[in-house]
Structures are given as structure tokens and as C-alpha cells.
């Protein structure tokens, strides 16, 4: 859900030196309750930047346009204008009329939200002057109640996809951080990833997302996992690089789903017994989810920054006397093809021929 294009907000009387916080909250409330954007009469780049950051982190395309001429916005055709004011008619008596009018005209809804002093034209130009209560009330609260009535509570079911997701908890607080492609590259750069690492992970990401797009996999997890799978190589090129990479990402508060993709990407996975023999922390590093399997196999099918065949991968492992590992890679390939109903060889060839 990227916002209800039927509902937009016009904020008038904004004073940047005094109203920055409250106007930001008006914008955040509008965004959370499903509006597509807000117009602000006074130019305020800080609010625009704040909301852009919220969109980036928590998802959506909610727009903020400040420095607009409010009368021009309000006079546009195709808007059903609702002015929130404690002097208006009670919401309980007008909400059904507003819904009926909206349904009949199919116009967008423009909710006018004033600050301290509201010019008289706002009352005159509006189709409805509405009061949530005839008592002084925060415009943030009034807007939330009006939008809840307009949306009939459906805004509580809205979901947005961003880099950060709030995880509902009975107590405490938890935010799941799923960096996008740009943020993943910044994380790699902050950890001094070499160009060799960057070239490799970019090709793995290209192959992994091509595979993921053909099956029911979470593209955001696959992209982040593919780009970050070798971040551990910024500190070691040993068999423990996946473990080290997981440690780096946990320290950066990256989603545990991505951490596990990184931790389990070596070959076709490492069992608990194998981990003990290799001197790794004793646990099972076998890929379980489809996202983990896709990234692991994409990594297996990329040497340096070039896609290679499954046969070449298997031969490389056999040359190192890793016969059991090579068998597991073949089995992983077959497993992904069966789950997704695809042919990995064909996908590799498509990308190679581009």
C-alpha cells in the first residue's frame, strides 16, 4: 500500500520556526492513515527531508510539497474539500454525507488542516467544514479521527515495505532492518570491501534476484543477502568468513533473516558435525529457507564476477578433494529447481548472453 490517492492534505498557516514539529506530525499521521501526500503552504525543506527519510526507512511514496500557493491547490477541480475546524458541523453528522458525495463525484478528497489562524477563504471554499469536537483539539488528533472514519478502520490493515519493519511485541521494542541495495553497498564500503568483493557480490545479486523473480521468494531478502553474503571477507578469506560476516551484520542490527542467509551461504551448507571439525562455532549452517538456498547456489555459480556452469563448480570442488560438498551442491541445485519449477542452467545462460 503506497497511500490512498483519493486523500491528500493541505496544511495552511505553517510557520517553520514554530510549527515544524506539529506539521511533521500532521504529515506522519496522514501517511500512516493512508493519504498519498501533503501540501504545505510555507517552504520547509527540513520537513520534506524528514518525510523522505521516513519513506526510505519504513516504505511508501508519501509526497511532501512545501512552498505551495494554498488557494491554487484548493481551487483545483476534482477535489472534495474538507476543512477541519472546531467551528464546523459535527463529524458524526457529516461523515456519511461526505462518503456519499465522494462516491457520487469520484473526486479526490482534500483535507484542509489549519495552524493557529485560518484565513476565511478556507471556510468559504470548502465543501464541508467539519469538527471532530467543538472543543480545542490537536489538529493531529482531529486528522487521525477523520481519516479513520473515512477509511472505516481499514488503515489499520495497511502495510508498507521499507528497510525497517516494526515487529509487534507484548513488551519491549524490536525493529527489523532490511537494507535496500544502495544501503547494502554503503555497508560494504563502510567495512572497506575491496573492488574484487564488490564485483563478485554484484554478480551474485544479479543471478540470485533473477532466480528469485521466478519463484515465490522474498526479493528484498535475496537482494540484501546476495550483496552482503561476502562481507566477512573484509576480515578473513577463511572458511569462517560466513560466520564473521554474520557477526558484522548482527553488530549492524541487520535483520536476522539476512544474517542467516550470510551465515549459511558456504557451499551447500555446513552441518553441525562438519562445523566442529572445521573449528567453527558448533551449529548447523545448512540453508533452510528458499532465500538462503537461492543465495548459496547463486554464489556457487559465480566465480569472481563471472557466471559459471554447475559442472564447472562441481569440478572446482573435486579438485580440492571436496567430493561430498560437490554432491551437496548438485542436490541443492536440484532442490531449488524442484521448489521453483525452473531451470537454473537456462537462467545462467540468459544472463551470460546479455
Cα-based angle 117, 119, 125 (whole degrees, multiple of 5): 140
Residue 1 has pLDDT above 50, yes or no: no
Q: How far is CA 51 from CA 35, 56, 66, 67, 263, in A?
A: 13, 9, 12, 15, 34
* CATH 3.40.50.880 for the 4-157 domain, yes or no: no
How do residues 218-230 score in pLDDT, each as one tens digit? 999 999 999 999 9
Looking at the chain, which residues constitute the CATH 1.10.3210 domain(s)? 181-352
Per-residue exposure over 179-188, b if at least 16 CB sit within 10 Å of its own CB, e if not: bbeebbbebb
CB 113 within 8 A of CB 140: no
**Stretch 221-242: mean pLDDT:** 97
**Stretch 137-147: mean pLDDT:** 94
Average model confidence (pLDDT) for the chain? 93
Question: From CA 241, how far away is CA 218, in angstroms rounded?
Answer: 24
C-alpha grid cell for residue 14? 505553517
For the full predicted model, state whether its pTM sits above 0.85.
Answer: no
Residue 205 has pLDDT above 80, yes or no: yes
Looking at residue 5, its pLDDT comes to 60
Q: Which long-range contacts (CB under 8 A, 24 or more apart) does 270-278 make?
A: 278/239, 278/240
**Stretch 26-52: mean pLDDT:** 95
Residue 159 has pLDDT above 80, yes or no: no
Structural fold of domain 181-352: Hypothetical protein af1432 (1.10.3210)
Residue 129 has pLDDT above 60, yes or no: yes
CB 82 within 8 A of CB 112: yes
Residue 4 has pLDDT above 60, yes or no: no
Residue 284 CB neighbour total at 10 angstroms: 13
How do residues 299-352 score in pLDDT, each as one tens digit? 999 999 999 999 999 999 999 999 999 999 999 999 999 999 999 999 999 999
Question: From CA 148, how far away is CA 19, in angstroms rounded?
Answer: 24
Q: Which long-range contacts (CB under 8 A, 24 or more apart) does 306-313 make?
A: 306/203, 307/203, 307/207, 307/348, 307/351, 307/352, 309/345, 309/348, 310/344, 310/345
Looking at the chain, which residues constitute the CATH 3.40.1280.10 domain(s)? 4-157
Q: Containing H/E element for 82? A: strand 79-90
Beta bridge partners of 80: 109
The total number of residues written for the chain in this structure: 354
Question: From CA 176, how far away is CA 165, in angstroms rounded?
Answer: 5
Beta bridge partners of 303: 306
Amino acid at each position: 500500500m503506497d497511500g490512498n490517492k483519493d486523500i491528500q492534505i493541505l496544511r495552511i498557516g505553517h510557520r517553520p520556526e514554530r510549527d515544524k514539529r506539529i506539521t511533521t506530525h500532521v504529515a506522519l499521521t496522514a501517511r500512516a492513515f493512508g493519504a498519498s501526500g501533503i501540501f504545505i503552504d510555507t517552504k520547509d525543506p527540513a520537513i520534506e527531508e524528514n518525510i523522505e527519510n521516513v519513506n526510505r526507512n519504513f516504505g511508501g511514496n508519501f509526497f511532501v510539497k512545501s512552498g505551495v500557493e494554498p488557494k491554487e491547490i484548493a481551487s483545483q477541480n476534482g477535489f472534495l474539500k474538507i476543512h477541519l475546524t472546531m467551528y464546523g458541523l459535527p463529524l458524526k453528522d457529516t461523515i456519511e454525507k461526505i462518503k456519499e458525495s465522494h462516491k457520487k463525484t469520484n473526486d479526490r478528497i482534500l483535507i484542509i488542516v489549519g495552524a493557529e489562524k485560518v484565513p476565511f477563504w478556507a471556510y468559504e471554499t470548502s465543501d464541508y467544514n467539519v469538527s471532530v469536537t467543538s472543543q480545542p483539539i490537536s489538529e493531529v488528533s482531529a486528522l487521525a479521527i477523520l481519516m479513520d472514519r473515512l477509511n472505516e478502520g481499514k488503515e489499520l490493515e495497511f502495510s508498507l515495505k521499507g528497510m525497517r519493519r516494526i515487529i509487534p511485541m507484548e513488551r519491549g521494542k524490536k525493529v527489523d532492518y532490511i537494507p535496500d541495495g544502495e544501503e547494502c553497498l554503503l555497508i560494504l564500503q563502510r567495512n572497506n570491501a575491496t573492488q574484487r568483493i564488490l564485483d563478485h557480490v554484484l554478480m551474485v545479486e544479479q543471478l540470485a534476484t533473477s532466480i528469485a523473480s521466478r519463484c515465490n521468494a522474498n526479493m528484498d531478502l535475496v537482494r540484501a543477502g546476495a550483496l552482503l553474503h561476502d562481507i566477512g571477507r573484509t576480515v578473513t578469506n577463511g572458511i569462517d568468513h560466513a560466520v564473521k560476516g554474520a557477526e558484522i551484520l548482527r553488530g549492524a542490527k541487520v535483520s536476522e533473516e539476512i544474517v542467516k542467509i550470510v551465515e549459511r551461504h558456504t557451499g551447500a551448507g555446513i552441518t553441525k558435525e562438519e562445523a566442529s571439525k572445521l573449528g567453527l562455532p558448533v551449529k548447523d549452517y545448512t540453508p533452510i529457507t528458499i532465500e538462503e538456498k537461492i543465495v548459496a547456489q547463486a554464489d556457487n555459480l559465480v566465480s569472481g564476477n563471472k557466471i559459471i556452469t554447475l559442472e564447472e563448480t562441481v569440478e572446482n570442488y573435486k579438485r580440492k578433494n571436496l567430493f561430498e560438498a560437490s554432491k551437496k551442491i548438485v542436490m541443492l541445485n536440484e532442490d531449488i529447481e524442484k521448489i521453483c519449477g525452473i531451470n537454473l542452467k537456462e537462467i545462467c545462460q540468459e544472463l551470460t548472453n546479455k
